[in-house]
Structure 1
């Protein structure tokens, strides 16, 4: 079993990372510029070093084991941190080249993705030797990735108490939302508000992991949270079963849920919420001219997308 990471282990992990990212040995050959027997030998050696089976390969095709999935995710974090270290080190010498990593909260609207694309294009045009890695993470992970140094910038809504270890850059945009149900749900028929005898707490609700509990309470009413989802997409799927009510941003019902007939409970006046959108970075992230330009462009293009 591996007790200490050596330089040779880093090389083996890079081979595994490429294979896992490409979802196969053959697809990884041009990326690694290695032939399949050499790739296979490297993976086997890494498995021996870790005393774990990382993947299955054979007639059934390439498939990672549960242990392999964990190693892959941890390897991704390591290499992101390496890239960030090199990028920050170069910036100390006024060398603004290398890779920067942006993380987007999962479930953001298409307009937001287009704004990010324009901001990235502008940044890459201004700084010739910059490459941008764009990833998505669940809402309850965004604070962690900002703090951990796995990425440079995070674009996400945020409704919790802001930690001092994270810097929040406002982009002057707020995502509005409210309580929704499926058209088959018993509450869907109340278009103008709930009658006095109908209590929202009598109906099972689905919550979102990481959202502030304040969003589950309104006046004297409290949602009867029976289960949780890790994303708004998962929450919307649960709502469409007709078994649950749940909180959703309005942009989801206009884009992803446009053809599903989602109904705002009580005419849309119950459990309204607003989440401000931010560009975030950990306090340990050095905001060099590249990142400052990127933040400025993100703010501009996100604002433009709402016109």
Structure 2
């Protein structure tokens, strides 16, 4: 019997929410993440709640007692780091492909330039 995946397709919104979660986890709480994310604490809290609802787990305990990742939150944090790193690698590789020189180049030489050892055409190509 095949189990159905809980998450399904990862959408753009999931990636945005995971970036918020990463910032909160790395900052050690919502208040500390406010300046990094440049959004208010209530918005950050809403994003975390949305991510928790989408994933079906509690990612962290937060409140007056402090901030701490849950066991599931720690696993998802590490998976999010890998996912976001892979997205960055993909972006870099695509940009490299777009920046590579491509096409057909025709070279023409006069007289015996190509066979002249002083011209060093072979080394230049």
Normalising by structure 2, we get a TM-score of 0.71
Q: Which position in structure 1 is the counterpart of 2:86?
A: 81
Query: Which structure has more RCO (C-alpha within 8 Å, separation ≥ 6)?
Result: 1
Q: Which position in structure 2 is the counterpart of 1:10?
A: 15
CA shift, 1:22, in A, is 1.1
CA shift, 1:46, in A, is 0.6
CA shift, 1:27, in A, is 1.2
Q: Which position in structure 2 is the counterpart of 1:34?
A: 39
**1:19 and 2:24 are equivalent in the alignment:** yes
Q: Deviations over 1:200-223 (max 9, x none)?
A: xxxxxxxxxxxxxxxxxxxxxxxx
SS where residue 99 of structure 2 aligns?
coil
SS where residue 93 of structure 1 aligns?
helix
**1:52 and 2:57 are equivalent in the alignment:** yes
SS where residue 90 of structure 1 aligns?
helix
Taking the aligned partners of 1:39 and 1:75, their CA distance within structure 2 comes to 17
Structure number with larger C-alpha Rg: 2
Taking the aligned partners of 1:4 and 1:88, their CA distance within structure 2 comes to 23
Higher helix fraction (1 or 2)? 2
- Once the two structures are superposed, the pairs formed by residues 260-299 of structure 1 within 5 Å of their partners are none
Taking the aligned partners of 2:87 and 2:22, their CA distance within structure 1 comes to 14
Q: Which position in structure 1 is the counterpart of 2:95?
A: 90
Higher strand fraction (1 or 2)? 1
Taking the aligned partners of 1:93 and 1:56, their CA distance within structure 2 comes to 44
CA shift, 1:75, in A, is 0.2
Tell me the C-alpha RMSD between the 2 structures. 1.3
Q: Which position in structure 2 is the counterpart of 1:120?
A: none
Task: Give the one of 67, 74, 88 matched to 1:69.
Answer: 74
CA shift, 1:2, in A, is 2.4
SS where residue 42 of structure 1 aligns?
helix
CA shift, 1:57, in A, is 0.6
Structure 2 unaligned segments of length 5 or more: list them: 1-5, 101-125
Taking the aligned partners of 1:81 and 1:6, their CA distance within structure 2 comes to 15
Normalising by structure 1, we get a TM-score of 0.30
CA shift, 1:14, in A, is 1.0
Where in structure 1 do 4 or more consecutive aligned residues deviate above 6 Å? none
CA shift, 1:3, in A, is 2.3
- Once the two structures are superposed, the pairs formed by residues 205-220 of structure 1 within 5 Å of their partners are none
CA shift, 1:8, in A, is 1.3
Q: Which position in structure 2 is the counterpart of 1:104?
A: none
